[in-house]
Chain A
Amino acid sequence: MRHLLGTTDLSREDAILLLDTAAQMAATQEREVRKLPTLRGKTVVNLFFEDSTRTRISFEAAAKRLSADVINFSAKGSSVSKGESLKDTALTLQAMGADAVVVRHWASGAAYQLAHGGWLHGSVLNAGDGTHQHPTQALLDAFTARRHLVADPTGQGLDGLTVAIVGDVLHSRVARSNVHLLNTLGAHVVLVAPPTLVPVGIEPWPCTVVHTLDQAIETYDIDALMMLRVQRERMSGGGDAFFPSPAEYSRIYGLDADRMNRLPDHAIVMHPGPMNRGLEISAEAADSPRSVIVEQVANGVAVRMAALYLLLAGEEGAQ
Chain B
Amino acid sequence: MSRPIVIKNASLYGDTPATLLIEDGVITTVAQDAASIATPDDAVVIEAEGLVALPGLVDLHTHLREPGREDAETIETGSRAAARGGWTAVHAMANTNPVADTAGVVEQVYSRGQEIGLVDVFPVGAVTVGLKGEHLSEMGAMANSKARVRLFSDDGVCVYDPVIMRRALEYVKAFDGAVVQHAQDLRLTEGSQMHEGVVSAELGLAGWPAVAEESIVARDALLAEHVGSRVHVQHLSTAGSVEIIRWAKARGINVTAEATPHHLLLTDESARTYDPLFKVNPPLRTQSDVDALRAAVADGTIDIIATDHAPHASEDKDCEWAAASFGMLGLETALGVIQKVLVDTGAATWRDVARLMSETPARIGMVDDRHGRPLAAGEPANVTLVDPNATWTVDAAQLASRARNTPYGGIELPGRAVATFLRGVPTHLDTQLEGAFA
A58 lies within 8 A of chain B by Cβ: no
B163 lies within 8 A of chain A by Cβ: no
In the bound complex, do residue A108 and residue B202 qualify as a contact, i.e. CB atoms below 8 Å apart?
no
The verdict on A201 contacting B196 (CB below 8 Å), with A109-B205, A133-B204 known, is yes
19 of the cross-chain contacts (CB-CB < 8 Å) are A80-B320, A80-B322, A80-B323, A85-B319, A108-B321, A109-B274, A109-B320, A113-B274, A113-B320, A132-B203, A176-B204, A199-B200, A199-B201, A199-B207, A200-B200, A200-B201, A201-B201, A201-B207, A203-B198
Chain A residues, CB < 8 A from B320? 78-80, 86, 105, 107, 109-110, 113
In the bound complex, do residue A202 and residue B201 qualify as a contact, i.e. CB atoms below 8 Å apart?
yes
Cα distance A105–B205 when bound, in Å? 13
Chain A proximity of B192: nearest CB distance (Å): 12
Tell me which of B204, B205, B321 has the highest count of chain A C-beta atoms within 10 A of its own C-beta: B204
A112 lies within 8 A of chain B by Cβ: yes
**A-B contacts besides A113-B321, A201-B197, 5 pairs, CB < 8 Å:** A79-B323, A80-B323, A110-B320, A132-B203, A205-B202
Chain B residues, CB < 8 A from A176? 202, 204
Cα distance A40–B177 when bound, in Å? 72
| B204 CB contact (under 8 Å) in A173, A204, A239 | A173
Chain B residues, CB < 8 A from A80? 320, 322-323
Chain B proximity of A94: nearest CB distance (Å): 15
Chain A proximity of B69: nearest CB distance (Å): 16
A130 lies within 8 A of chain B by Cβ: yes
Chain A residues, CB < 8 A from B323? 78-80, 107
In the bound complex, do residue B318 and residue A108 qualify as a contact, i.e. CB atoms below 8 Å apart?
no
A131 lies within 8 A of chain B by Cβ: yes
| B274 CB contact (under 8 Å) in A78, A85, A112 | A112
A56 lies within 8 A of chain B by Cβ: no
Chain B proximity of A8: nearest CB distance (Å): 7
B369 lies within 8 A of chain A by Cβ: no
B125 lies within 8 A of chain A by Cβ: no
A121 lies within 8 A of chain B by Cβ: no
B433 lies within 8 A of chain A by Cβ: no
Chain A residues, CB < 8 A from B199? 201
A61-92 CB contact bits vs B (8 Å, 1 = yes)?
A: 00000000000000000111000011100000
In the bound complex, do residue B203 and residue A200 qualify as a contact, i.e. CB atoms below 8 Å apart?
no
B14 lies within 8 A of chain A by Cβ: no
The verdict on A205 contacting B201 (CB below 8 Å), with A109-B274, A112-B274, A113-B274 known, is yes
| A201 CB contact (under 8 Å) in B200, B206, B275 | B200
In the bound complex, do residue A108 and residue B322 qualify as a contact, i.e. CB atoms below 8 Å apart?
yes
Cα distance A60–B322 when bound, in Å? 28
Contacting residues of chain A (121-168) with chain B, CB-CB under 8 angstroms? 129-133
Tell me which of A105, A109, A129, A239 has the highest count of chain B C-beta atoms within 10 A of its own C-beta: A109
Interface of A is mostly: loop
In the bound complex, do residue B202 and residue A200 qualify as a contact, i.e. CB atoms below 8 Å apart?
no
Cα distance A200–B206 when bound, in Å? 10
Chain A: interface residue total (CB-CB under 8 A) = 31
Cα distance A109–B194 when bound, in Å? 13
B209 lies within 8 A of chain A by Cβ: yes
Contacting residues of chain B (309-334) with chain A, CB-CB under 8 angstroms? 315, 318-323
Chain A residues, CB < 8 A from B318? 85, 87
The verdict on A108 contacting B207 (CB below 8 Å), with A85-B318, A201-B197, A201-B198 known, is no
| B319 CB contact (under 8 Å) in A87, A130, A200, A205 | A87
In the bound complex, do residue A130 and residue B201 qualify as a contact, i.e. CB atoms below 8 Å apart?
no
In the bound complex, do residue B203 and residue A109 qualify as a contact, i.e. CB atoms below 8 Å apart?
yes
Chain A residues, CB < 8 A from B202? 8, 176, 201, 204-205
Chain A proximity of B57: nearest CB distance (Å): 36
Cα distance A107–B200 when bound, in Å? 13
Cα distance A106–B206 when bound, in Å? 13
Nearest CB to that of A80 among chain B residues?
Answer: B323
Chain A proximity of B195: nearest CB distance (Å): 9
Nearest CB to that of A171 among chain B residues?
Answer: B204
B180-215 CB contact bits vs A (8 Å, 1 = yes)?
A: 000000010000010011111111111101000000
Nearest CB to that of A175 among chain B residues?
Answer: B204
Chain B residues, CB < 8 A from A173? 204
Cα distance A116–B187 when bound, in Å? 34
| A130 CB contact (under 8 Å) in B187, B196, B273, B322 | B322
Nearest CB to that of B199 among chain A residues?
Answer: A201
Cα distance A106–B387 when bound, in Å? 47
| B321 CB contact (under 8 Å) in A109, A203, A239 | A109
